Amino acid sequence: MKKALVTGKRRDGNLVEFVCKCPEIAKSAVPGQFVMISVSTTLDPFLNRPLGILWAEGDYFSVLFEIVGRGTSLLAQLEKGDTLSLLGPLGNGYSLDVPRALLLAGGRGIVTLHFLARTLKEIGISISMLFGIQNRSEIVLSRYMVNCAKGVQRFCCEEEISGVFQGTIVDALEDYATVQTIPEGTGVFACGPEGMLRALARHPLLENHRVEVSLEAVMGCGFGVCLSCAHKGRDGYLHVCSEGPVFPLSEVAW
Ligand SMILES: Cc1cc2nc3c(=O)[nH]c(=O)nc-3n(C[C@H](O)[C@H](O)[C@H](O)COP(=O)(O)OP(=O)(O)OC[C@H]3O[C@@H](n4cnc5c(N)ncnc54)[C@H](O)[C@@H]3O)c2cc1C
Ligand code: FES
């Protein structure tokens, strides 16, 4: 296990962001990868919890998580100055060799796409980003949208909010496509709830595009040993931790 010092903490309702110092992880992390964090100093809960990397820069990286159960509740109790035990960076990453990119983020799927957007911009690749939330309780996540410069940036919510496009990310994509073509070769990257990814898999607008999705699964080990993270693929099972979490959309079965 590696150690990371929590150097910053921000909490907004059920969302917590930690900035951590750990050069070993920060210097080698790429967008799409995750860490497995020990949430307790005892054996209960036993399993580490997987969290995507929000950004990495110099000696620092960050994670952003939603408190959904016991593990994340315990983790949220840590404060600046505490030390995390963790494994990582784990998994593969998104492809960066694209001429331009369209990023589709749903809810906390913004985490790894935030890192991807920052990285693509740094290497001079033009990005557009559509970000959708289900209701106003998630609005704080819009802070993690990345300025797309010349690209298009859209924010949508399924619940009605004044001044915000109302609908799902699929509705936002269809609306985007009425004013903007998605040129051949565009790298499309999606991360969000399974229902969103399933809807994108069937969508004719993405039929001829290379689409990569990041999957979530309940994980035991995080590095290919326990096989708890199996997800149905077109050609047998995919192991989300060791073969993913990023997969070509065409390889995933729903
Ligand atoms: C590669 C990867 C990256 C992730 N990145 C993030 C992230 O950046 N931010 C974030 O908030 N969450 C992320 N998750 C989900 C996060 O790992 C779970 O929410 C967390 O492990 C729940 O732990 P818990 O003990 O609080 O909840 P539990 O008490 O274990 O479960 C509470 C609820 O969460 C569901 N759940 C538990 N584990 C997972 C899981 N791995 N995936 C989906 N649902 C789960 C359970 O089915 C249950 O409904 C990621 C998961 C994976 C696999
Ligand atoms: S989590 Fe153990 S094999 Fe993937």
Kindly indicate the confidence band of residue 62, based on its pLDDT and cuts at 50, 70 and 90. Answer: very high
50 CA: nearest ligand 2 atom = 1
- The answer on pLDDT for 44 being more than 90 is no
Atom of ligand 2 nearest to the CA of 239: 4
Amino acid 246: pLDDT: 98
pLDDT at 148: 86
| Cβ partners under 8 Å of residue 218, min gap 6 | 228, 229
Across the chain, mean pLDDT equals 94
Is the C-beta atom of 221 inside 6 A of ligand 1? no
pLDDT(3) > 90: yes
- 231 CB within 6 A, ligand 2: no
Q: Strand, coil or helix: what is 229?
A: coil
pLDDT-based confidence at 125, cuts 50/70/90? very high
- pLDDT tens sequence across 143-165: 999 988 888 889 999 999 998 99
Domains 2-90 and 100-251 share a fold: no
Is the pLDDT assigned to residue 242 strictly greater than 90? yes
pLDDT tens digits along 65-117: 999 999 999 999 999 999 999 999 999 999 999 999 999 999 999 999 999 99
Domain ranges of the chain: 2-90, 100-251
Q: Taking 80 as the threshold, does the pLDDT of residue 202 lie above it? A: yes
Is residue 181 over pLDDT 80?
yes
- Cβ of 34 below 6 Å from ligand 1: yes
State residue 241's pLDDT score: 97
In one letter, which amino acid is 105? A
Residue 42: the pLDDT is: 78
**Residue 151: what pLDDT?**
85
Residue 214 pLDDT > 80, yes or no? yes
Are the C-beta atoms of 168 and 158 separated by less than 8 Å? yes
Report the separation in Å between the CA atom of 222 and the middle of ligand 2, taken as the mean of its atom positions.
5
39-53, 97-111, 213-227, 237-251: which range is least confident on average?
39-53
Is the CB–ligand 1 distance for residue 16 below 6 Å? Answer: no
Tokens linked to 110: 């913004």
Which ligand sits closest to the CA of 222? 2
Distance, in Å, from the CA atom of 20 to the CA atom of 62, rounded to the nearest integer, reads 6
- Residue 156 CB–ligand 1 contact under 6 Å: no
The angle at the Cα of 14, spanning 10 to 17, to the nearest 5 degrees, equals: 30
The fold adopted by the segment(s) 100-251 is: Rossmann fold (3.40.50)
Contact 5, 21 (CB under 8 A): yes
Residue 15: closest CA among 47, 45, 43, 54: 54
Question: For residue 178, what pLDDT is reported?
Answer: 92
**Is the pLDDT at 43 greater than 80, yes or no?**
no
pLDDT of residue 4: 97
Looking at CATH, the fold of the domain delimited by 2-90 is given as Elongation Factor Tu (Ef-tu); domain 3 (2.40.30)
Separation of 230 CA from ligand 2 center, angstroms? 8
Sheet order of strands, 210-214 included: 165-166, 153-157, 126-133, 100-106, 187-191, 210-214, 246-248
Task: Kindly indicate the confidence band of residue 254, based on its pLDDT and cuts at 50, 70 and 90.
Answer: confident
